């Protein structure tokens, strides 16, 4: 009997091997005045350049209207006021006049036509930011805790995030050639055959790779959802080093039990000077051992799940030439942001502003986009920081500017106190429809109204004012980290969602499916009996996610266990 043939590489692997510069035929398409979209192969290449090709799905009945989503690479989510103004200008001139904050401390532009794409990316680079590697089979935007209220060591952690972003960036010159110089690299150019990225090789990674840094006790980065996580160990103002977390990821597929969300494992401790070496070791482990025959099985989390933490630790030690130390003690207490005005450890002020579902826009009575632009213009010395909870922080604010900023925002209907109800303030959603091609159900457009309904239900039950972390996504890929929420709605079809219960406030526990399919219209009927039980059966101070894990999970397990039949 002959041995089975080895599985073939995916098409993405084939085209990356053929064109390791990642240039594709992008420049030729950009130079064609009649073009309105990229080819199927180039749709994969443009992701490495920070671009997704989409269409307005609300208009599909009358024909596809192609447009681009562009994502900035903003290490640690830190922007100057001048950079904020640039992004605001670009959203108005080339996009849909909104700025979409992501769960990875970045900004997305939506609705950009091919004709405006080149100018938008060039101006982002002129602002000293980039879109290179914001998407694609590479390390994505590096995240780092943005809140400056806890320790001066935060600046060291942020510096490490910038160092990592530079060290893990792909080295192809095609990005600069296409978007900055406007030079077309032809498909038969020898550079395609000769180029090998010094870190990623010819074929880059099997799938995307996400990395972040976090400072306990605040797990605002949801660090265990990353492929690579650095948990800062701080003593006083001194950064002693980092605990290393490896192998997290949210993505899964409906009906495919071989795919699942996974929390990263904490496997050791390293001093700060070893951050780059260790990051490269973990990334190249993904490069060398990740599955290149099945993209649904290609994330680093599956390598770790199948080979184990001991193997991973040994492999990191081998590649770095030094041994990771024992894990240092740490504790997480919350994943949330500090809303309103607060004082940083250096004496300056910072203001965290709630952004509903991450979409900065102007609507009657709440012109948040205009307000933030005017803040950037009138207070150019302050810093804009993006949070991984889809909010914006105005940092390094002198005491003398507090009243002026508060008054400016108030003039646009933007509050600094009591900005949102407790459920809205803890919620997140992915964009989904109408722009995301993967969306199966509404998310961003659905969630605010759904939370209003849940708040009304809670008031009827007697649970008003209780925080519950609620997240929604339009598909199972997990862009808003739904599998960490206390309650999550994961899209399955128009108006239909999986219902997940049981995450916790510290971001250290995955939730589980409670019901495989519910209708959006039936949310109150589905939640009322469960929330009523929580009110009546909870332990003192017990959150809903903890109640679900303590009471509902065991009940589900017992119900699913076959019972012996009587003889």
From 475, 481, 492, 543, active-site residue: 475
From 71, 100, 262, 373, active-site residue: 71
What average pLDDT score do residues 175-186 get?
86
Structure pTM?
A: 0.96
What average pLDDT score do residues 249-268 get?
98
475 is catalytic: yes
DSSP state of 209: B
135 is catalytic: no
Give the tokens for residue 306: 């199948």
Tell me whether residue 365 is exposed, middle or buried, using C-beta atoms within 10 angstroms of its C-beta: 0 to 12, 13 to 18, 19 or more: exposed
Residue 244: closest CA among 204, 297, 198, 285? 285
Is the model's pLDDT at 193 over the cut of 80? no
Give the tokens for residue 149: 């209220």
Is the model's pLDDT at 567 over the cut of 60? no
Is the model's pLDDT at 385 over the cut of 80? yes
Residue 565's pLDDT band (cuts 50, 70, 90)? low
What average pLDDT score do residues 271-293 get?
98
Asked if residues 211 and 59 have their Cβ atoms less than 8 Å apart, the reply is no
Is the model's pLDDT at 187 over the cut of 70? no
From 210, 385, 471, 543, active-site residue: 210
From 135, 287, 430, 492, active-site residue: 430
Tell me: the pLDDT tens digits for 243-257?
999 999 999 999 999
Is the model's pLDDT at 185 over the cut of 80? no
pLDDT confidence of residue 60? 87
Is the model's pLDDT at 563 over the cut of 70? no
208 is catalytic: yes
Asked if residues 124 and 72 have their Cβ atoms less than 8 Å apart, the reply is yes
Question: Which residues neighbour 427 within 8 Å (Cβ) at sequence distance 6 or greater?
Answer: 357, 447, 451, 469, 470, 471, 472
pLDDT confidence of residue 436? 95
Residue 5's pLDDT band (cuts 50, 70, 90)? confident
Domains in the chain with CATH codes: 340-423 (3.90.480.10), 426-560 (3.30.413.10)
Give the tokens for residue 469: 């972390």
From 154, 207, 208, 509, active-site residue: 208
DSSP string, 268-322: EEE-GGGHHHHHHHHHHHHHHHS-SS-GGG-SHHHHHHHH-HHHHHHHHHHHHTS
From 292, 369, 373, 436, active-site residue: 436
Give CA–CA dist 413/405, Å, rounded. 13
Neighbours of 557 (CB within 10 A): 10
C-alpha 75, offset from chain centre = 13
Report the percent of the chain where pLDDT is more than 70.
97
What average pLDDT score do residues 258-262 get?
98
479 is catalytic: yes
430 is catalytic: yes
pLDDT confidence of residue 6? 78
What average pLDDT score do residues 39-50 get?
98
381 — phi, psi (to 5°)? -85, -10
Strand partners, 197: 201
pLDDT confidence of residue 2? 60
From 479, 492, 509, 543, active-site residue: 479
Compute the mean pLDDT over every residue in the chain, rounded to the nearest whole number.
96
Is the model's pLDDT at 184 over the cut of 80? no
What average pLDDT score do residues 5-26 get?
93
436 is catalytic: yes
Is the model's pLDDT at 566 over the cut of 60? no
Residue 530's pLDDT band (cuts 50, 70, 90)? very high
From 16, 47, 100, 140, active-site residue: 140
Comparing 99 with 563, the larger pLDDT belongs to 99
pLDDT confidence of residue 3? 61
Neighbours of 364 (CB within 10 A): 6
Q: Is 127 helix (H, G, I), strand (E, B) or coil?
A: coil
């Amino acid at each position: 009997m002959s041995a089975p043939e080895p599985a073939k590489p995916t098409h993405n692997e084939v085209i990356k091997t053929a064109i390791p510069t990642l240039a594709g035929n992008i420049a030729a398409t950009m130079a064609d005045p009649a073009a309105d979209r990229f080819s199927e192969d180039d749709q994969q290449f443009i992701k490495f350049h920070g671009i997704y090709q989409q269409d307005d799905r609300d208009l599909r009945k009358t024909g596809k209207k192609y447009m681009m989503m562009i994502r900035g690479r903003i290490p640690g989510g830190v922007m100057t006021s001048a950079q904020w103004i640039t992004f605001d200008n670009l959203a108005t001139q080339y996009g849909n006049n909104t700025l979409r904050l992501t769960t990875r401390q970045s900004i997305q532009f939506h609705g950009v036509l091919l004709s405006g794409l080149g100018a938008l990316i060039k101006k982002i680079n002129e602002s000293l930011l980039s879109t290179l590697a914001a998407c694609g089979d590479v390390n994505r935007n590096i995240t780092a805790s943005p809140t400056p209220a806890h320790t001066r060591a935060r600046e060291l952690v942020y510096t490490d995030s910038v160092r990592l972003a530079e060290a893990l960036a792909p080295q192809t010159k095609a990005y600069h050639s296409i978007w900055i110089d406007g030079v077309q690299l032809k498909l038969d150019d020898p550079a395609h055959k000769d180029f090998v990225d010094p870190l990623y090789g010819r074929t880059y990674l099997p799938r995307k790779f996400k990395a972040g840094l976090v400072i306990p006790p605040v797990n605002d980065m949801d660090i265990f959802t990353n492929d690579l996580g650095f948990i800062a160990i701080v003593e006083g103002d001194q950064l002693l080093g980092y605990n290393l977390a490896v192998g997290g990821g949210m993505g899964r597929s409906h009906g495919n039990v071989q795919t699942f969300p996974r929390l990263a494992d904490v496997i050791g401790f390293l001093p700060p000077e070893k951050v780059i070496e260790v990051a490269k070791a973990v990334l190249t482990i993904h490069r060398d051992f990740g599955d290149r025959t099945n993209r649904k099985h290609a994330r680093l989390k599956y390598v770790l799940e199948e080979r184990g933490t001991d193997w991973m630790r040994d492999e990191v030690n081998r590649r770095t030439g030094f041994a990771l130390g024992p894990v240092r003690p740490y504790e997480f207490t919350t994943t949330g942001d500090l809303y309103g005005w607060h004082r940083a450890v250096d004496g300056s002020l910072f203001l965290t502003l709630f952004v509903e579902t991450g979409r900065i826009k102007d609507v009657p009575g709440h012109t948040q986009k205009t307000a933030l632009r005017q803040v950037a213009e009138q207070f150019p010395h302050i810093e804009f920081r993006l949070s991984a909870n889809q909010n914006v922080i105005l940092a390094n604010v002198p005491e003398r500017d507090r009243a002026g900023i508060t008054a400016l925002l108030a003039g646009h209907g933007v509050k600094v106190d009591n900005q949102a109800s407790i459920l809205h303030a803890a919620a997140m959603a992915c964009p989904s429809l109408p722009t995301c091609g993967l969306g199966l159900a509404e998310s961003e457009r659905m969630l605010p109204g759904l939370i209003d309904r849940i708040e009304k239900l809670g008031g009827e039950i007697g649970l008003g004012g209780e925080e519950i972390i609620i997240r929604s996504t339009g598909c199972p890929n997990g862009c808003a980290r739904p599998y960490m929420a206390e309650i999550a709605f994961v899209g399955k079809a128009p108006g239909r969602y999986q219902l997940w219960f049981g995450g916790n406030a510290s971001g250290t526990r995955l939730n589980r499916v409670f019901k495989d399919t519910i209708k959006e219209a039936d949310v109150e009927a589905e939640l009322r009996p469960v929330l009523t039980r929580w009110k009546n059966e909870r332990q003192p101070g017990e959150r809903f996610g903890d109640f679900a894990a303590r009471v509902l999970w065991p009940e589900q397990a017992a119900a699913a266990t076959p019972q012996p039949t009587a003889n």
